[in-house]
């Protein structure tokens, strides 16, 4: 058995669902004594050998099944098989042991305070590399129960069968699905069992980029360790691994992102393994996030957070909270050496929630280790110091040997470097470009000419669109509209009539009265808006107003439609 098997924690998603009951009269039974008669306190006392009563599954998820004569079948990757129980007529304590051809591959461990013992493989069985005496994946052994004087035994076999549950895991096919299967995430795809779901306002192109990067990372290649990778993909299913995607950031959503405002929010959080969002950068994002390099890094970081969450559930070497795991030992080596310092970002949690703090810093360390091992850190996250100061893979090998070993022995077997060449070829339409002109009209972009004329129904000037003063407009959600207007009358949008000129409705400041979500005003005489149904200020309904930022009473209403 190759050494990597020692890293497997458990396999949780299996193509079998069965419950087994072990009959005490199973084949192969035997005894070395039967009854012992002795004198106790002047009277004759009989002693009988203990007997095996039955067995039950060691997990809530059934892993194994049996046929008559104690012949068991278990998919590869399962270590703990069943718990066997026994009884002794005289109430003596019972010792459990194993013998036979493959006893050296098995372990039996008695539970405290009861006459039960757990039967398990010493090493996780691998169908492609059988360890049994005949190398036929059938492990034969006897379970012996003894009261110290008499004993009895029964013969068992466990047939390890190939696990094919990961065979259906495949790359995302390029088709972005749009329905309420994972509401409120209304557009989604699945890459090798990892679900990527986006909120409605995220652009299709951005979700496509995330899924294609996931395809690259989760594919197999010549270095793939099939057992470890299959285990990971299986556990994506078992734990419903879900990568959430949103636009701008959490605080940009009004109404707030919660179950009251977005039906299904709590269901996804409670029933799927989620970590954080990947945020699509926009004009409203912090300045340091509005670059291509930082957008790529954000995708890599949070995909790896979600993926390594399932590492934690799959491999003992990746236990976030296990002080003896290879991951935590490597992280501590980096902290001690001064190469990883998470205290500035998460230090407060170490006192308020130590368990969460341990998980977060281990998850962050895993991300840094992987992108550095891929030589992508200096390209897409060059300014992260002092949290992580290792620049490239060769430096990590020299300064952090434990991290280098963990990366080489485990990451290389289950993940693939998406490569700089591929990542640099991606485009992100929502990223702002300094001094950029409004988008060129296409099938999803419309230009609306706006002029100004004296008000026919009163004093002052008003906007005129298609010959109609203060015309009420209907915009289609998902399309981009460019309003071309006189520079002396800058056109803006609001959720209330007349925008910043209004003094009603409890809006005390211009910031709250002007609507800026998806709006670009960088070019004089041109105002661009991406029409959205699910935008900030969505609690005001689907009505906006256009107005002049310099002169009151000039504009009209806008209805956003599907």
Domains annotated for the chain, with CATH where assigned, are 3-161 (2.60.40.60), 177-424 (no CATH), 445-561 (2.60.40)
Q: Are 151 and 31 in contact (CB under 8 A)?
A: yes
pLDDT at 284: 83
User: CB pairs under 8 A, 24+ apart, for 334-342?
Assistant: 334/365, 334/390, 334/400, 334/403, 337/399, 337/400, 338/389, 339/388, 339/389, 339/390, 339/399, 339/400, 340/365, 340/368, 340/387, 340/388, 340/389, 341/386, 341/387, 342/387
Residues 6+ apart with CB under 8 A from 255: 261, 538, 539
Three-state DSSP state, 8 = strand
Using DSSP's 3-state secondary structure scheme, residue 258 falls into: coil
CA 38 to chain centre: 64
Looking at residue 24, its pLDDT comes to 34
CB distance 482 to 441 below 8 Å: yes
Helices (H), 31-171: none
What the block records as the tokens of 538 is 């969505």
Residue 419 to residue 404: CA distance in whole angstroms = 19
Report the pLDDT value the prediction gives residue 39, as an integer from 0 to 100: 55
pLDDT in tens, the chain (562 residues): 333 333 344 333 333 333 333 333 333 444 444 555 555 555 556 889 999 987 776 643 344 555 556 777 787 888 888 888 999 999 999 999 999 999 999 999 999 989 999 999 999 998 888 999 999 889 999 999 999 999 999 988 888 877 655 556 899 999 999 998 999 999 999 999 999 999 999 999 999 999 999 999 999 999 999 889 998 998 898 889 999 999 999 988 988 999 999 999 999 999 899 988 999 998 888 888 889 999 999 999 999 999 999 999 989 899 998 899 999 999 999 999 999 998 877 767 777 888 888 999 999 999 999 999 999 998 998 876 678 999 999 999 999 999 999 999 999 999 999 999 999 999 998 887 644 444 443 446 788 999 999 999 888 899 999 889 999 999 988 888 999 999 889 999 998 888 888 876 554 444 457 888 889 988 888 999 988 875 444 334 478 999 999 999 999 999 988 7
- What pLDDT does 18 receive? 32
Three-state secondary structure call for residue 94: coil
Residue-level pLDDT at 493 = 93
Residue 45: the pLDDT is 65
C-alpha torsion sign, points 532, 538, 541, 544:
negative
3 state DSSP class of 414 = helix
Three-class DSSP category at 186: strand
- 71-75 and 445-449 as β-strands: parallel, antiparallel, unpaired? unpaired
Question: 332 Cβ partners below 8 Å, 6+ apart?
Answer: none
Cα(172)–Cα(193) distance, integer angstroms: 9
Closest CA to 295 of 281, 277, 275, 276: 281
Residue 136 near residue 130 (C-beta atoms within 8 A): yes
SS3 482: strand
CA atoms in the 13 A half-sphere facing the CB of 434: 3
């Amino acid at each position: 058995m190759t050494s990597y098997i020692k890293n497997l924690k458990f396999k949780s998603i299996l193509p079998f669902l069965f419950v087994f009951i072990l009959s005490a009269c199973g084949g192969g039974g035997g005894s070395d004594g039967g009854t012992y008669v002795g004198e106790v306190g002047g009277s004759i006392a009989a002693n009988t050998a203990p007997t095996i009563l039955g067995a039950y599954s060691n997990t809530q998820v059934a892993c194994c099944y049996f046929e008559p004569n104690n012949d068991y079948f278990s998919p590869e990757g399962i270590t703990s098989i069943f718990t066997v129980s026994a009884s002794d007529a005289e109430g003596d304590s019972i010792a459990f042991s194993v013998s036979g051809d493959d006893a050296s591959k098995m372990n039996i461990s008695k539970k405290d305070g009861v006459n039960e013992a757990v039967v398990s493989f010493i090493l996780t069985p691998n169908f492609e590399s059988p360890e049994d005496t005949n190398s036929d994946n059938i492990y034969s052994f006897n379970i012996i129960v003894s009261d110290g004087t008499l004993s009895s035994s029964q013969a068992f076999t466990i047939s390890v069968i190939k696990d094919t549950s990961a065979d259906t895991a495949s790359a995302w096919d390029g088709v972005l699905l749009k329905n309420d299967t994972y509401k409120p995430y209304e557009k989604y795809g699945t890459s090798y069992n990892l679900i990527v779901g986006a909120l409605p306002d995220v652009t299709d192109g951005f979700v496509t980029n995330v899924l294609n990067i996931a395809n690259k990372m989760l594919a197999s290649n010549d270095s793939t360790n099939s057992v470890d990778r299959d285990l990971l993909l299986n556990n994506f299913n078992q734990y419903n691994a879900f990568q959430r995607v949103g636009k701008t950031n959490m605080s940009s959503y009004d109404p707030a992102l919660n179950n009251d405002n977005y039906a299904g929010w709590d269901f996804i959080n409670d029933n799927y393994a989620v970590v954080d969002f990947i945020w699509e950068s926009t004009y409203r994002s912090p300045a340091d996030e509005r670059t291509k390099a930082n957008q790529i890094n954000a995708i890599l970081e949070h995909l790896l957070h979600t993926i390594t969450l399932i590492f934690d559930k799959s491999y003992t070497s990746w236990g976030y909270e296990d002080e003896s795991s290879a991951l935590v030992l490597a992280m501590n080596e980096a902290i001690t050496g001064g190469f990883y310092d998470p205290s500035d970002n998460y230090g407060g949690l170490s006192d308020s929630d130590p368990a969460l703090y341990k998980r977060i810093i281990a998850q962050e360390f895993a991300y840094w280790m992987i992108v550095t091992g891929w030589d992508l850190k200096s390209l897409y996250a060059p300014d992260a110091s002092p949290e992580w100061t290792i620049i490239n893979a060769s430096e990590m090998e020299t300064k952090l040997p434990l991290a280098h070993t963990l990366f080489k022995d485990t990451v290389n077997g289950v993940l693939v470097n998406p490569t700089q060449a591929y990542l640099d070829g991606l485009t992100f339409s929502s990223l702002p470009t300094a001094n950029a002109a409004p988008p060129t009209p296409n099938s999803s972009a419309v230009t609306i000419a706006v002029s100004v004329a004296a008000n026919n129904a009163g004093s002052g000037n008003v906007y005129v669109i298609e010959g109609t003063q203060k015309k009420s407009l209907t915009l289609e959600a998902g399309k981009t509209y460019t309003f071309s207007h006189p520079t002396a009358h800058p056109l803006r949008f609001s959720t209330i009539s007349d925008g910043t000129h209004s003094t009603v409705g409890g809006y005390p400041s211009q910031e709250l009265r002007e609507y800026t979500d998806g709006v670009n005003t960088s070019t004089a005489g041109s105002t661009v808006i991406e029409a959205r149904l699910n935008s900030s200020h969505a609690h005001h309904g689907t009505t906006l107003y256009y107005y002049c930022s310099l002169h009151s009473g000039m504009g009209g209403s806008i209805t956003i439609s599907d």
